Structures are given as structure tokens and as C-alpha cells.
Amino acid sequence: MTEISHRTIQTNGINMHVAEAGSGPLVLLVHGFPESWYSWRHQLPALAAAGYHAVAPDVRGYGRTDAPQPIEAYSMRNMVADMAGVLDALGAETAVIVGHDWGAPIAWNSAVLRPERYRAVAGLSVPFLQRSPMPPTQLFKLAFKDNFFYILYFQEPGVAEADLEADPRRSMRLFLFAASGDAPQDPLTWQKPKTSTFLAGMPEPEHLPAWLTEADLDYFAAEFARTGFRGGLNRYRNMDRDWEEIPELAGAKVTQPAIFIAGERDGVIAMNPAGVTAMKETVPNLRQTLLLPGAGHWTQQERPAEVNAALIEFLKGL
């Protein structure tokens, strides 16, 4: 198996830890919440073996990358600048950018805002979404009313941190299972009162699903026990700021060759199936939409073989 190496680079004023493997055209892998470079542990060696330089950073606020204090440091403009800075640090003019969960909007928006840097884009779990007609939190309050919605719960600094940091290993165990295809129902689609907490009601798994080992869980838990969850949560706290700061996303289209991959049982898809359909118009060069039967939210971890095969086929076709 190809060795995964680690180093720290400077980008957009911060120190960023990256894991990498292979040589060749650059493929940038951007993780989501609450994860790290480790979410791409199955993709790094596979992409390297296929002839690519695969690089998976710890996004700002996570792992061994800097975690600035101000909430506004986690704006989408900063995230896009961070990724462009990775290309600069690696001496690459262009890359293919691949993102999962929050990494997907970072990837889609990077393709829109910095089209000269990205020759193709792959989104996992979260489809490309144009700018909403009003600030997102207003939209969520109208839609969910007295029901719990995790993004609204994440808005108040300190609240979700206390919930998740009380026992990081248990938090990761519950969430990784609950949002996977192995759980009876994705927590994003549950109905519970808005006074609830994020972890309330998540089932205690009798054993970990086959795709997640105790060592995997140990890695995630140790990272969040050390860093806390604040950096990742701050991304959610910038959604209205992003709406104000990036008006050019209204009506924007992703013009590069693209692929979208998600689990059929992903709660993100269940909440907004129209988002996938809309990409026929908003991503005119969408080469493939792959929905993986039985898979949940953790796309590339739950179905590494299928994701690797689809990504490599997409890359070879560029």
C-alpha cells in the first residue's frame, strides 16, 4: 500500500496540516464535520496508486491545523482562500477538488469563485446549492418552527460544544453510527422539539458498523478530545455571513466537469432531494450522479471501494 506522509504548510495566514500520497496531477480532498484528513484514509492510497498526488488537509479548526479564535475566521471566503493557498504551497497551478459534507460546499464554491484553479470538482453528500432567497437561518426557522434543527442548535457559541465535548468518544460513536446507513433512521430526519440537544435520542450502537473500527473511532475521538469541536461548529455560524459576503452565488453555475456521489440513506439527501435534481441546471457539466444503495452520510468511509472506483474513472475521463 502507498505510504501516507504528513507535513505542515502555510496557507492564507495559517499553518495547515496535510496528509498526502502519490505523485502526479493534484487531487485535493476536503473533509466535513466532524471529521479530519483521516476521513480520506481509503482514498489517499487508491488515488496515489492510480497516478495522482492526493492531498487531504485538516480544514482550519480541525486536527493539527490552526484554529483561529474569531468566528468570522471560518467564513466561506476564508475556506476558499485556504484551499487555493494549498495549491500555491504545493506549487500546483490547478487541481481537481473533492469535498464531502462541509467540504462539498467548499469544493463547489471554490470551483465557482476560483474557476482558474480547479479543472474539475467532485461533491460527496451535499449537492451544489445556489444562494438562498434569504439568510439561511431565517429560512431554517421558517421551515422547522418548533422542531429541532441541528444547524440552528449549532448557532449559539458554547451550547453544542458542551454537548459534544462532555465525552468526545461517545459523541463520535453515536453520531458516526446514527448518520450512517447502518442506523435505523438518520438523525437529520428525526422529529424532536427545538429545546432538545444534538445527541438526545441517538441510539447506542451494540457494535460498530463494519466500515468503522475501534482504531478509527480512537483516532477521531483523540483529535476532538484535544481540539474540541469549536472550530468545526464555527463553519455553521458563518452561514448568514456567507450569504451577505458572497452575493455572486445567486444564480451561479459550476461549469467544470463534475461528479456527485451520495448514499441513498443520507439524511442530507432525504431533507432536500430537489437539491440533487436542480444540479441538472446548476451544474451543466455534471458527468454522473451516483447514489449508493444502503449507504448513509459518511460516503467515502462507508463505501470506499465504490467511491474510489467512481472518482478514478471520473479523473481518468478528464
266-305: pLDDT as tens digits: 999 988 899 999 999 999 999 999 999 999 999 999 999 9
pLDDT at 276: 95
Is 42 catalytic? The answer is no
Residues in a beta bridge with 291: 262
For residue 186, what pLDDT band results from cuts at 50, 70 and 90?
Answer: low
105-126: pLDDT as tens digits: 999 999 999 999 999 999 999 9
pLDDT, mean of residues 36-53: 98
Contact by Cβ (8 Å): 252, 298: no
For residue 172, what pLDDT band results from cuts at 50, 70 and 90?
Answer: very high
pLDDT at 141: 96
Which H helix or E strand runs over 54?
strand 53-57
* Residue 189: pLDDT over 80: no
Contact by Cβ (8 Å): 317, 287: yes
pLDDT at 271: 87
Average pLDDT, the chain: 96
What is 5-316's CATH number, 3.30.365.10, 3.40.228.10, 3.40.630.10, 3.40.50.1820? Answer: 3.40.50.1820
Q: What's the pTM?
A: 0.97
* Residue 190: pLDDT over 90: no
Contact by Cβ (8 Å): 125, 297: yes
pLDDT at 245: 97
Active-site hit among 58, 66, 82, 101? 101
pLDDT at 191: 82
Is 82 catalytic? The answer is no
Q: How far apart are CA 224 and CA 219, in angstroms?
A: 9
The domain segmentation of the chain, as residue ranges, is 5-316
84-110: pLDDT as tens digits: 999 999 999 999 999 999 999 999 999
CA 201 to chain centre: 24
Going by C-beta distance under 8 Å and a sequence separation of 6 or more, which residues neighbour residue 20?
A: 4, 5, 6, 7, 44, 53, 54, 55, 56
Active-site hit among 31, 53, 100, 297? 297
